Amino acid sequence: MKLEVLEEKCAACGVCELTCALRRFKANNPKKAMIRAEMIVLKDDVKVRVKVCRICEEKPCIKTCPTGALKFNGRWIEVDETLCTLCRACASVCPFEAIFFHRDVRGPLICNLCSGDPQCVKMCPMEVLKVVNV
C-alpha cells in the first residue's frame, strides 16, 4: 500500500500535518508531521506540493543510509532509531523531499501510513490523499 496524492486538489490547509503529528506524537506541532503541504508561489500561479513518502521503487533512502537504519517491511519504510546517526543522507536523496527531521525526534520522520491506517487520508477535507494497494 502507498499514498496517492492529488496535488491539484490540495489547498495546503494543514489538516494532514496536524493529524499526523497528533497521531504519532500527541503533539499539536505540524513540524513533527511526516507529511507536509506547501504552497509555491510562481509568477502567474500558485501550486501546492505535498511532501510524503510515496514508497518509490528505487528507495534511494535505504540504499544511501550508511548504518542500515532504514528498511522496507513490504508496506512502508521502517526506521531503527538506535542505528540512525542523523547524518541526513536519506533526506538528501529522497526524490519527493519527504524525509524530515525535528530536534525532539531521534531519527528521520518518514511516513509509515500510521501502521496501515493512515489518518491523514480520513481527515483530509479535500480528499487529496488516497491509499492504493501495490
Of 41, 45, 40, 37, residue with least CA distance to 129: 37
Of the chain, the percentage scoring pLDDT greater than 90 comes to 97
pLDDT digits (tens, 9 = 90+) for 59-74: 999 999 999 999 999 9
pLDDT digits (tens, 9 = 90+) for 76-129: 999 999 999 999 999 999 999 999 999 999 999 999 999 999 999 999 999 999
For residue 45, give every residue at least 6 positions away whose Cβ sits within 8 Å of its Cβ, in sequence order, or none.
Answer: none
Cell numbers describing residue 14:
494543514
pLDDT digits (tens, 9 = 90+) for 38-60: 999 999 999 999 999 999 999 99
- CATH code for the structural domain at 2-132: 3.30.70.20
Given pLDDT bands bounded at 50, 70 and 90, which one contains residue 134? confident
Residue-level pLDDT at 133: 87
User: What are the structural domain ranges in the chain?
Assistant: 2-132
